[in-house]
Amino acid sequence: MSRAERLLRLVQLLRRYRAPVSAATLAEELEVSVRSVYRDVQTLREQGAAIEGEAGIGYLLQPGFLLPPLMFSDEELEAITLGLRLSAEHGDEALGRAAAEVVAKLRAVLPKDLRVMLEGTGLLAGPARERPTEQVDLAEIRRALRREQKAEIDYVDQRNVASTRVIWPIALGFFERVRVVVAWCEQRQDFRSFLSDRIQRWVTLPSGLPRARAALLRQWRERENIPAQV
């Protein structure tokens, strides 16, 4: 059992008792040492838990305490850390900065043992391969996705044919060598994928998407037989 899981169980155990319960009783139920219970009680107090009592007397959790949501299992924290490192390496510049800010926020609120694990995990994100330079700001594309707005783009295809199109952006894919905008193209009346480095101009339009982006994305996934991601 990880430390985070043990803290969660300790809170649940304390909620079962209406009178002070000894550290020895808690240690027996958690299958840990009494010293571990002392440390865990102190950690919960640092997280804001109103736990009355002390060693040799017993502990009582006052009602109303909600364990902070930033309590993760070992594997959950590893998944978060790896995801942030991948964002920093393979995302655009703004996503890289955001990933670093998330790590800083996690360091500020996680218990000490989880903070040590966050900083010391051995899961690494490999460096991104060299990609063609983009002329458009990927942060602007991501804003259009969040706000579910249409966009007008100037695009040059693989045959070097230029065109201006109005699209309904539904996804932005990050790959090792390219980034791809998935959208409904009004000109083609169909879904199309656009390499971001071939987009010469991007203008987010004030008009919203005629259909919900989630519904369009689901339709595209079903047609392309692409499973949903977490």
The tokens for 23 are 């550290």
Q: What is the CATH number of the domain that holds 16?
A: 1.10.10.10
Last residue of a domain, one of 13, 35, 61: 61
Decide: helix, strand or coil at residue 124: coil
The per-residue pLDDT for range 174-204, each reduced to its tens digit, is 988 899 999 999 999 999 999 999 999 999 9
Please report whether residue 41 resides in a domain.
Answer: yes
Across residues 92-105, what is the average pLDDT? 90
- Indicate whether 152 and 100 sit together in one domain: no
Going through the chain in order, the beta strands assigned E by DSSP cover 51-54, 58-61, 149-156, 162-174, 179-185, 190-195, 199-208
* Number of domains forming the structure of the chain: 3
Tell me if 20 is assigned to some domain: yes
Regarding beta strands 190-195 and 179-185, do their DSSP bridges make them parallel or antiparallel, or are they unpaired?
antiparallel
Asked whether residue 157 is assigned to any structural domain, the reply reads yes
Same-domain pairing of 46 and 112: no
Contact 172, 141 (CB under 8 A): yes
For the chain, give the mean pLDDT: 89
163 forms beta bridges with 155
pLDDT band at 28; cut points 50, 70, 90: very high
Do 24 and 45 reside in the same domain of the chain? yes
- Residue 195 belongs to some domain of the structure: yes
69, part of any domain: no
Residue 78 lies in a domain: yes
**Per-residue pLDDT, 82:** 93
What CATH number has the domain bearing residue 202?
2.30.30
Residue 70 has pLDDT above 60, yes or no: no
pTM higher than 0.75? no
Residue 65: predicted pLDDT: 64
Q: Which two tokens stand for residue 18?
A: 């209406």
User: Does the structure show a pLDDT above 80 at 4?
Assistant: no
217 is a domain residue: yes
- The answer on 217 and 155 residing in a single domain is yes
Please choose, from the candidates 148, 160, 132, 141, the residue with its C-alpha nearest in 3D space to the C-alpha of residue 201: 141
Task: Using alpha carbons only, give the angle 66, 72, 77 rounded to the nearest 5 degrees.
Answer: 155
Q: Which one is predicted more confidently, 172 or 6?
A: 172
Residue 55 included in any domain: yes
Instruction: Name the domain boundary from 61, 89, 110.
Output: 61
Q: What is the pLDDT of residue 129?
A: 81
Tell me, what's the pLDDT at 155?
98
Q: Do 45 and 110 sit in the same domain of this protein? A: no
Which of 12, 34, 61 terminates a domain? The answer is: 61
Give residue 115's pLDDT band: very low, low, confident or very high (50, 70, 90): confident
Tokens of 71: 């309590």
DSSP for 11-49, written as a single string: HHHHHH-SS-B-HHHHHHHHTS-HHHHHHHHHHHHHTT-
Its domain, for residue 176, covers 138-224
Q: 207, exposed or middle or buried, with CB in 10 Å at 0-12, 13-18, 19+? A: exposed
What lies within 8 Å, CB to CB, of 93 at 6+ separation is 139
Distance CA 60, CA 152 (A): 62
121-179 pLDDT tens trace = 899 888 888 888 899 999 999 999 999 999 999 999 999 999 999 999 999 999 888 99
Q: Are residues 56 and 105 in the same domain?
A: no
Question: Is residue 216 located within the same domain as residue 149?
Answer: yes
pLDDT at 1: 64
